[in-house]
Structure 1
């Protein structure tokens, strides 16, 4: 092996305390939508094998999982509201735990990023306001279809969505997960409420920062009542444009949100650094390290990290945990490959979504003689 072993020059591979858990290392597997559940959102043995293969990650955050039929935006994504889904996820949690791993479930409602083909009864997707995303498509059983204008939620409906999050959190607990992550990023429902580009409401859920962050605080409150704060994380993406999202002034919005979240003693803040490219002083002047300084828990960074960038982030104390995404698709033993300096396998993008075993559980790990 010609490369220097990374574990000789970084604490990336050292254990870290997260809530009640001692993680084996500071590497997290990012949630990756792979569309391999049944049409009813039930995971099975395939997911159990997939995640068990990757259990050497300090923490697995499993693929985004719909909290309700209304929360669905892509075909064959898993859910966490029915007894059948709970039973299916129990296969995964047992398989990961048998390998000594830890796994959180990500709670997901897509909001407007959907299509009537994917909604109960062919209804319109819901959102804080009837604002259509530009140039966005939904992945349906008949292929990609343009996303239209959603239906604005009535004020009295929002409590029901918060209750759906609480129910999903209880189902995740029953399924044996170690914790949950609330998805408030990537242009989906909770970020749609946060962002003034998509939230045009005039009730208590729109207008001021306090109002636009209200539903996120209500969801966090409901979920932590199920799990306790130390087994709950939250994912945000202040600078992302994914899903045609955006905010005119994200810094005060997200600093206010993070400061409010400190009351819940969350396990971690998962930040998608987005268009910054790792720049601590990106265009617009919003240094995301301000969020880390404002947050009382662990800071998880996600920005298409390479090994060298991850080591640099730890050396400069920019993050407590580094989240890797696509490299885990084709490298089930990514942690060992990074540790040993071994080359990474390339993933086949043609097998990212849908399908079965191919491109999902058939990527080989290194043999002892090849490391």
Structure 2
């Protein structure tokens, strides 16, 4: 046993107790036909319930926000019923599970949406790149429609309703996806936000959508069950670096501190051979945000332990290692090697590469889950 590892120690908050500090990061596995989590989604998440916290994959709050082929949503009854089964499986294994709420905005394709709903965004700025659509075709991402002020406010309410749906089916909380170049970050970014109403222009106006979504959810389900994911400096989904980025995130941090939500989850990305989020940035954020801090991005057991021992973060999220190692926490506990994942099945497929990865045990061959 390695009881001295802080990564394996429990974390107690006034509302939730996490059995360890390992978080299963939200990963889009794209096995949700018509936006409904697949028949074995409960098995997939249940197998990984040893994590201190699972954050279920990004799930759309509206039909025009799914973006990727076979990504899930949580805005209709069929989706809620499928997610309820997932939650019950995780809770039966004594796990904790949040769901990440997303609207992908200009990233997507109408062919991946119910009734071919058009893409929407803060402004009519087309994203570079292609999107996989039915028939295994890859088509250019079209230009989005600009959300009116009223439609923007309706989208805030769509996030709030999705959060209420999540709590109704039993999730322990929700994470707002404010990262990776999706709709919320599109509002933050001056490249994609060229508006002249109260949601555009200044840093405060560009941050308004993010803060209204987060505050609305916190008011609806409780700030102690509300987290947010951010990816400053990551330049994902055709969003270039910009001069006000640091100041923008400092403004957001101050507002989130005042809001008192449960956590900020930082998603760091490789950028020119270095992490997009530096230790200095984490240290500065830590000094201005008193609640929980999670960091994700190519973490190893050793790097996670170092972050925890240094007091920089409270929990550490792992993505790909959880795909091929459903018993990741136990492998950390037993100092066992990690299995590699099948990259070809990361973002598409059936049960192969999804629920068939074995757990480790003391035999010549790995045990089956």
> How many residues were matched structurally?
361
Tell me the equivalent position of 1:128. 122
* Superimposed CA distance per residue, residues 80-129 of structure 1 (whole angstroms, 9 cap, x where no aligned partner): 01111111111110100000000001001000001121234434301111
TM-score norm. by structure 1 comes to: 0.93
* Aligned equivalent of 2:84, options 69, 90, 101: 90
Q: Secondary structure at the match of 1:61?
A: strand
Tell me the equivalent position of 1:240. 234
Within 5 Å, which residues of 2 pair with 1:16-95?
Answer: 16-39=11-34, 41-95=35-89
Q: Secondary structure at the match of 2:33?
A: coil
State the distance in 1 between where 2:278 and 2:168 align.
43
Whose RCO is larger (CA < 8 A, sep 6+)?
A: 1
Offset, 1:292: 2.1
State the distance in 1 between where 2:110 and 2:179 align.
22
State the distance in 2 between where 1:35 and 1:320 align.
29
Tell me the equivalent position of 1:217. 211
Q: Is 1:186 the counterpart of 2:164 in the alignment? A: no
Q: Does the 8 A contact of 2:308 with 2:314 survive in 1?
A: yes
Q: Secondary structure at the match of 1:222?
A: helix
Q: Does the 8 A contact of 2:268 with 2:277 survive in 1?
A: no
TM-score norm. by structure 2 comes to: 0.93
Q: Does the 8 A contact of 2:51 with 2:95 survive in 1?
A: yes
* Aligned equivalent of 1:364, options 352, 358, 369: 358
Within 5 Å, which residues of 2 pair with 1:151-230?
Answer: 151-230=145-224
* Aligned equivalent of 1:140, options 133, 136, 140: 133
**Structure 2 CA distance for partners of 1:159 and 1:82, relative to 1, 3 Å:** same
State the distance in 1 between where 2:156 and 2:148 align.
13
State the distance in 1 between where 2:281 and 2:58 align.
27
Tell me the equivalent position of 1:109. 103
State the distance in 2 between where 1:144 and 1:309 align.
37
* Superimposed CA distance per residue, residues 26-80 of structure 1 (whole angstroms, 9 cap, x where no aligned partner): 11000010111122x1124411000000000000000100111011101111110
Gaps in structure 2 of 5+ consecutive residues: none
Q: Does the 8 A contact of 1:45 with 1:91 survive in 2?
A: no
Tell me the equivalent position of 1:264. 259
State the distance in 2 between where 1:351 and 1:44 align.
15
Q: Does the 8 A contact of 1:239 with 1:275 survive in 2?
A: no
**Structure 2 CA distance for partners of 1:18 and 1:273, relative to 1, 3 Å:** farther
Gaps in structure 1 of 5+ consecutive residues: none
State the distance in 2 between where 1:123 and 1:89 align.
23
State the distance in 2 between where 1:18 and 1:202 align.
41
* Aligned equivalent of 2:342, options 322, 342, 348: 348
State the distance in 1 between where 2:115 and 2:204 align.
34
Offset, 1:12: 0.8
**Structure 2 CA distance for partners of 1:257 and 1:186, relative to 1, 3 Å:** same
CA RMSD of aligned residues (A): 1.8
* 79-88 or 269-278, larger mean C-alpha shift: 269-278
Q: Does the 8 A contact of 2:232 with 2:277 survive in 1?
A: no
State the distance in 1 between where 2:355 and 2:270 align.
31
* 85-94 or 287-296, larger mean C-alpha shift: 287-296
* 107-116 or 121-130, larger mean C-alpha shift: 121-130
**Structure 2 CA distance for partners of 1:155 and 1:37, relative to 1, 3 Å:** same
* 304-313 or 328-337, larger mean C-alpha shift: 304-313
